[in-house]
Amino acid sequence: MAHRKLVPGDLIIATHNEGKLREITALLGPYGMTPVSAGQLNLPEPDETGTSFVENALIKARAAVSATGTVALADDSGLCVKALGDAPGVYTADWAEKSWFEGGPGRDWYMAMGKVEGKLAEHGPDVDRSASFHSTLALVWPDGHEEVFAGSVPGTLVWPPRGDRGFGYDPVFMIDGETRTFGQMDPAEKQEIDHRADAFAKLVGAVF
């Protein structure tokens, strides 16, 4: 299928995650797009029932298009830890969900990082700490045309968390070849090398 060019104008970013919105907005800045998030429009969050990043990204983008009639871009991303059979994977955000006795509803990313570290500890001190971040971007038009782009970066998990920048699992993820975690990097520097940047480079090459 031939790629369809994306013309400058309004674009719905199908997310309620402010950190993710900031990254995507910065990446779209040079291309004349005017991003508005699903959260800013008070759109409901669809149930992410897919079993892959592709399926969940499409679910979110299709829901935003259905609600607005405007082209929508969704990102589904996650952390895959080799020793944990690539978990949490598509359930990356779910691991941060607080139960009622943890003060929920809401997400606690420090708790999520602790869950990953706890499961690694069960494998002993010599456990393989390699991991990778993955991002899938789904771009959906009102007439049903769809484009999907995937990116990833390999790295290593560290403990305890380092740095207070970024979001999600950034403070425990150190990309290969680096001595700093994503949580210690300037956001502009991280956005040039992370998994979302990898996926965006493919999207930009195809639709702009």
Domain annotation covers residue 2: no
DSSP string, 127-148: ---EEEEEEEEEEE-TTS-EEE
More confident residue, 160 or 32: 160
pLDDT in tens, 1-56: 689 999 888 899 999 988 888 888 888 878 988 899 999 999 999 999 999 999 99
User: Domain range for residue 136?
Assistant: 9-207
Q: Is residue 85 part of a domain?
A: yes
Whole-number Å distance between alpha carbons of 42 and 65? 14
Per residue in 171-192, pLDDT (tens digit) is: 999 999 999 999 999 988 998 8
Q: Residue 149: inside a domain, yes or no?
A: yes
Q: How far is CA 126 from CA 33, 130, 131, 156, 204, in A?
A: 47, 12, 15, 13, 41
Asked, for residue 3, whether it belongs to a domain, the answer is no
Domain assignment present for residue 174? The answer is yes
Mean pLDDT of 196-206: 93
| CATH code of the domain in which 37 resides | 3.90.950.10
Output DSSP code: residue 158.
-
Token representation of residue 38: 């699903």
Token readout for 147 is 């484009």
User: What is Dmax (Cα atoms) for the chain?
Assistant: 53
Tell me phi and psi for residue 189, to 5 degrees.
Answer: -70, -45
pTM of structure: 0.89
- What angle do the packed helices 195-207 and 18-28 form, to 10 degrees? 40
Average pLDDT over residues 84-101: 88
Tally the domains of the chain.
Answer: 1
Q: Is residue 140 part of a domain?
A: yes
76 is catalytic: yes
Distances (CA, A) of 136 to 47, 115, 119, 124: 17, 24, 26, 32
Tell whether 42 is covered by a domain: yes
- Distance separating alpha carbons of residues 129 and 189, to the nearest angstrom: 24
75, 76, 170, 194: the active-site residue: 76
pLDDT in the model for residue 1: 63
Q: What is the pLDDT of residue 131?
A: 98
| 142 belongs to a structural domain | yes
